[in-house]
Each structure stands twice: as structure tokens, then as C-alpha cells.
């Protein structure tokens, strides 16, 4: 098994705590409603969940597809924590759903993921990017953008600033919190045009973006 970074080790230890916490606040239900309303969930799309954890966002996308009547989604997902992936796999089996999952580091996807994991119509990520070093945010967004189709959509849910978030998410979970302006700059640096950015629940921003027409900019 490949070595884990600090974030990977953290979620190995706290997998059950994390699942209990997001269940308590209705995280999957909120994600489902957002994705159903986003217009990004359509027939036959290829979906990549980056930093899938135990699967809340992938399952929310699949639930949203049912809500809007979209059929034939092809879902793939990756995470750095084997324990979180095992919990996701067990959940998929219990629900009888199909999603291909892999262990991978978003900052080194060419090493961890097969070459055919590309051309995704929808790339989603929730609660993963804030665990990267702050200086690596744009590079991670580039890595995800490079896995998208030219007309694909990206939906990111990421922690915003605020006293509680700094104390709990920053202190207890050791993650970064971001100002809106920082996120706008990181997406622009990664060659992504933000379509919408708005507060999500009490803790984050929901950002919907697409590759910029001029995608020559690299990090």
C-alpha cells in the first residue's frame, strides 16, 4: 500500500467519527439537493468524485440523477484513505450501486490513476481540497481540470472562513479555510471559469466552474 499523507492518516483514524458527523448534519441530503438543482446531472454523463471519502457526494449525485430523471451515469471515485474507501465499498454493496473506486493522491493522479480515467463530464469534490497545503490548491484544481472533458463541469464544496470553521475544521480537523477571493484566484490560476459561487450550509462555499476557453494556463 502506498504511503499516506497527513490527511490520509487523519481519515484512517477518524473514519467513523466523520461518517457520524456528516450524517448528523444531513450532509448527503444537502449535496443531493444542490446537485439536482445544478443542471449538471444529465443522461449518460461520466462522473468523477475527487476525495470521495465514504461516498456521500457520489451517492448524492446518483440520488440527484433519480430526482431529475437522468439515466446511465458512469461513476468513478478516488480517495487517499483505504479505510474510507472500504466504508464506501461496503455502502455501495449494500445499496446495490455501481461505482469504480481507487486509492489516489490528487496531487499525483498520473501515477495513481489509470490513463483512461479522463474525459469526465462532471467532476465533483467535497471536503477534500482544504486538506491540501494551501500552496497546492491551484495545482490540485489543474489536475482535476485535466481529467475533464473540454465542456465538462466541476462542482466543489470547500470550507469558508468564519470563527467556528477556524476553530473546528481548522483546529480539530487540521484543514484550511478560505476566503471567497482566495478561491476565485485559485480557480482562475487553474484555468477554470467560475459560473457560480455561493455559501453552502453553514460551513462552506459551493462552486460550479468550467474549463476556461483559453486553457493554456498551467500551474
Task: Give me the pLDDT at residue 163, please.
Answer: 83
- Digit-coded pLDDT (tens) for 111-125: 999 999 999 999 999
Half-sphere exposure for 143 (CA within 13 Å, toward CB): 20
**pLDDT at 6 exceeding the cut of 80:** no
Whole-model pTM: value is 0.89
- Confidence class for position 218, pLDDT limits 50, 70, 90: very low
Average pLDDT, the chain: 89
What percent of the chain shows pLDDT beyond 90?
77
Q: Over 50: is that where the pLDDT of 147 sits?
A: yes
Question: What domains, with CATH codes, occur in the chain?
Answer: 6-211 (3.40.50.150)
| pLDDT for residue 23 is more than 80 | no
Amino acid at each position: 500500500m502506498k504511503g499516506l499523507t497527513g490527511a490520509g492518516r487523519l481519515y484512517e483514524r477518524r473514519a467513523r467519527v466523520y461518517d457520524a458527523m456528516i450524517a448528523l448534519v444531513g450532509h448527503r441530503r444537502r449535496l443531493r439537493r444542490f446537485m439536482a438543482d445544478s443542471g449538471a446531472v444529465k443522461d449518460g454523463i461520466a462522473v468523477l468524485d475527487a476525495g470521495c471519502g465514504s461516498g456521500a457526494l457520489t451517492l448524492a449525485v446518483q440520488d440527484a440523477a433519480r430526482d431529475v430523471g437522468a439515466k446511465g451515469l458512469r461513476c468513478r471515485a478516488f480517495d487517499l484513505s483505504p479505510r474510507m474507501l472500504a466504508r464506501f465499498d461496503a455502502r455501495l454493496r449494500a445499496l446495490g450501486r455501481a461505482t469504480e473506486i481507487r486509492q489516489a493522491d490528487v496531487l499525483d493522479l498520473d501515477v495513481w490513476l489509470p490513463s483512461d480515467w479522463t474525459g469526465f463530464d462532471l467532476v465533483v469534490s467535497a471536503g477534500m481540497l482544504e486538506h491540501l497545503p494551501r500552496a497546492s490548491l491551484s495545482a490540485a484544481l489543474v489536475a482535476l481540470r485535466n481529467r475533464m472533458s473540454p465542456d465538462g463541469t466541476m462542482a466543489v464544496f470547500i470550507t469558508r472562513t468564519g470563527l467556528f470553521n477556524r476553530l473546528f475544521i481548522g483546529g480539530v480537523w487540521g484543514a484550511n479555510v478560505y476566503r471567497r477571493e482566495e478561491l476565485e484566484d485559485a480557480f482562475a490560476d487553474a484555468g477554470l471559469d467560475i459560473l457560480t459561487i455561493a455559501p453552502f450550509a453553514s460551513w462552506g462555499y459551493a462552486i460550479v466552474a468550467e474549463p476556461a476557453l483559453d486553457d493554456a494556463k498551467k500551474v
